[in-house]
Structure 1
Amino acid sequence: MDGSIESRISHEVDNWLRWLPRWRPGTHRGRTRLCRQCFGSPVMAAAGLDTDVPHAVQHAMAMRVKLVIDAAVEEYTELNLPLLSREMKLTEERKAAASYKPAEGLDPEYEGLDLDPPPAPGAPYLFTFGELADDGATDAAPAPPPPLTAEEKAAIRVELKLADDYALKVGRRACAELARHRERIVGAVAEFVEPQVQALLADLDNSLSGFS
């Protein structure tokens, strides 16, 4: 696959379109808070998924685009921002001290979602994924790095600004590419998602009619 942002986004749209026919209502539980990846996202607007689309469908696209943007920024940082790259590697090494990380390695459509549903009253869980992740941390954590000098802190602030600017640039390119695929995306939602939503609404209407 071509390494350009445009080709990567096109590839992820194709992956999302292959996944969409497998989506079913209720794949994920209802959220108790707004998803920061999806709510008000320019990515969702560019893809035509910002209105009247189930969150799981939005989230699957949002996380695929996020992976593309994150990978591009990581490549840019590795090549051009040595201090920031070093700090990121040290952070990853500290994270690697945890032996069990249930939130990692998930398919894009599941990344960023809550791992544990709220407990039902009177039916506590024997364990939760969050507890397992906490228990998996090893006692022998890596030694903290030496403190940064004032000059290094100033340099990292400059590099952070450069990384943020590059991420915005990549995000704009990703949105422009998504807009080119909007017709395919919206058409797939109409074909695979809307009929299931309408069927759910019809079932709800029939259920409510039984109480009238």
Structure 2
Amino acid sequence: MDRSLDTRVSQAVDAWLKWLPRWQPSTHQGRTRLCRRCFGSPVMAAVGLDHDVPHAVQHGLSTRIKSIVDDVVDEYTVRNLPLLQRELDAAEERKARSYRPDRGLDPEFDGLPVDPDPVPGEPYLFTLAGLAGAEEPVAEDLPAPLTEEEKAALRTEIRLADECAIHAGKLVCLAIEPHRERILEAVARYVEPQIEALLADLTLELDAPPSW
């Protein structure tokens, strides 16, 4: 196991454990779409958070771990995949010219939709997602088209980056598994009592006789 990777995973778990006592059940409208970052995540399965755990609790940890995998892939890309890095730099430069409401979010919110789910019959005047990237780059800012040789090389580099991400994902799953016990202990201490309290309140409301 790469000690630096093991250390980064440990630090990510520590940061999540420090945040967890501040978590509270959400009172706003629930999500109607599954979070691709958390649903079916092997990281969540490795630590036992893949079922019966509120999504926000999962997301705070899975996002921190995903950022570690992203960093590994970024480091690999800078060192070994110059054509892919050039394309990524160009894409980031274009994005930097537009409004990006998802920039700088805390890990607990990173990757989530910036707008709430729409309510039928109550349209938005505007949405943050709609404002993001509304300005298209002018023609002279667009890079020259890739040659067929460059396209083939880019496809190869993308495949190598994907393989790196898969390998890094397996390594972080191995690195986070030893933290499973303290993660589950924290969930039992800070999350489960709040869920039980919500269920108790719901039971009282259902059992209460009608006022009329």
CA distance 1:211–1:41, shift in 2 (3 Å)? farther
Q: What are the within-5 Å matches in structure 2 for residues 72-91 of structure 1?
A: 72-91=72-91
2:116 aligned partner: 117
For structure 2, the residue ranges without an aligned partner over 5 or more in a row are none
Q: What are the within-5 Å matches in structure 2 for residues 27-176 of structure 1?
A: 29-98=29-98, 100-120=99-119, 123-135=122-134, 137=135, 140=138, 143-176=141-174
Q: Deviations over 1:69-111 (max 9, x none)?
A: 111100110011111111111111111120x211111001001
Q: Distance in 2 between matches of 1:4 and 1:27?
A: 39
> 1:132: how far off?
3.2
TM-score (norm 2): 0.91
> 1:124: how far off?
4.7
Q: Distance in 1 between matches of 2:163 and 2:101?
A: 31
Instruction: Provide the alpha-carbon RMSD of the alignment.
Output: 2.1
Q: Distance in 1 between matches of 2:176 and 2:27?
A: 25
1:179 aligned partner: 177
Instruction: State the one-letter code of the partner of 1:108.
Output: P
For structure 1, the residue ranges without an aligned partner over 5 or more in a row are none
Question: Are residue 12 (structure 1) and residue 6 (structure 2) matched?
Answer: no
> 1:133: how far off?
2.3
Q: Distance in 2 between matches of 1:193 and 1:159?
A: 43
1:208 aligned partner: 206
Per mean C-alpha deviation after superposition, the further-off stretch among 137-146 and 184-193 is 137-146
Say whether the 8 Å CA contact 2:101–2:132 is kept in structure 1.
yes
Say whether the 8 Å CA contact 1:6–1:174 is kept in structure 2.
yes
Q: Distance in 1 between matches of 2:111 and 2:23?
A: 17
Instruction: State the one-letter code of the partner of 1:33.
Output: R
> 1:10: how far off?
0.8
Q: Deviations over 1:183-208 (max 9, x none)?
A: 01000000000000000000000010
> 1:210: how far off?
1.3
> 1:47: how far off?
1.9
Instruction: State the one-letter code of the partner of 2:38.
Output: C
Q: Deviations over 1:7-32 (max 9, x none)?
A: 11111100000000000000664111
Number of residue pairs aligned between Structure 1 and Structure 2:
209
Say whether the 8 Å CA contact 2:38–2:59 is kept in structure 1.
yes
Identity, in percent, stands at 57
Q: Distance in 1 between matches of 2:51 and 2:15?
A: 21
